Structure 1
Amino acid sequence: MSCARPSGRGGVWSEAALMGGAAPTSVLLWGCSGGRASRASPGADCCQHSWRCMAPKSVASHLFVFSFPCRKIVAEYEKTIAQMIEDEQRTNMTSQKNLQQLTMEKDQALADLNSVERSLSDLFRRYENLKGVLEGFKKNEEALKKCAQDYLTRVKQEEQRYQALKVHAEEKLDKANEEIAQVRTKAKAESAALHAGLRKEQMKVESLERTLQQKNQEIEELTKICDELIAKLGKSD
């Protein structure tokens, strides 16, 4: 590439034109003071303007020599452009890698989110199941409490009945004491019958007490199980 360019005014004829002898007799030369162009004619006094009159081929040779810095500048410019293109390609590759990495991270985050959602769904399902179990335990506990209350009511009724029987027996015994001589055998039989009935009622009371104690133990075990389940649910939350 040459710095010389054809121009009609104040320019320099191209290197090809000068080398080929196509330039006119009048040529444009670059001045040494300020870089202004001056037209030189054959036979003119070039020295008074600090110019040298040169033949066209000589001028072309000088222009060819002067074009080397321009070529060097163009080469440096092309090298810079190539480096910029390479840097841009490298930047694009880095951006693509970063984009792929971000895409992978996004996909991993979405996968983790889906896993967490599935875990939460499973935890909620288990919570609902445990909630149903606890409700069942609560209903059973209420039923057991009601049953125990019924047993206690029956025990009280039996106690009242026992007291009534006891009073009745005492009355009978008092009456029997008055007639003890006549009805001793009968009184003993009645007393034995009453004691047998009393023993039977006592056995019933003892049986009810054992049943009540067993139910209380079952209630305590169920309460303990419920407390453990509630504690586990609290830790899970």
Structure 2
Amino acid sequence: MIRWLLPLLLLASPALAEESIVSGLSQNRVSITADFDGSEILIYGAVKREAPVPKGSPLQVIVTVEGPSTPVIVRRKDRVAGIWINNAEVRVDSAPSFYAVATTGPLSDILSDTENLRHRVTIERAIRAVGITGEADQADAFVQAMLRVRSNEDRYRVLEGAVQLTDDTLFRTDVVLPSNLTEGEYTVRLFLLRDGKVVATQERVIRVRKEGLERFIFTMAHDQPLLYGLLSLVLAGIAGWAASAAFRLIR
């Protein structure tokens, strides 16, 4: 009896995903050295299918790159008695140090609000700001101000149309990591979409780490702060003495 029921159960079970992602990165490790001025990452992949290409809405691809998240305090300066002072602040629970979104088309056209909420695709959804309304009036304006500042610093980017898709199968995009990177793991997420819905996802990781002199200074500052402070004072004194001696020689 069980032998006859097994095929029926298999037929009644949900079908396997018809489309999945096979992807790669040009590099999965970035070293920050003294002369580091940024890095360009090639993200590429293909769509693996268990069935013919579905008819109807064309395939869309979104690629996000997210840096380590940290709490952020956003302050507003107001002019009081002719002096600009910090008059209000909002604490954002967690904000990515870097976030880039690359797509095959306009985000508003290829991604539904429901899927955006579920997968936190856009920069606004990637920022978690819980309970900020009680800290200041118009708290959302503080978050928008942070978005503008980090966008101007090239740390937040929306690259609509930057993903190249060939024959609904092969895709690629280039994401430039800036020179002011935060050390840690950068999560790369890839999404396949049809009719505004995510049909397949995949994650990869890029590890960013300080190396050489940068690593030595970073480690000393965190593990031996007293020695780091004393060494900084000695170096500053030597630099000042050298500048004074050179000035006297010139005169």
Shorter-chain-normalised TM-score: which range?
Answer: under 0.3
Query: Under a length normalisation based on structure 2, what TM-score does the superposition of the two structures give?
Result: 0.17
Q: Which has the larger radius of gyration?
A: 1
More helix by share: 1
Q: Which has the higher contact order (CA 8 A, sep 6+)?
A: 2
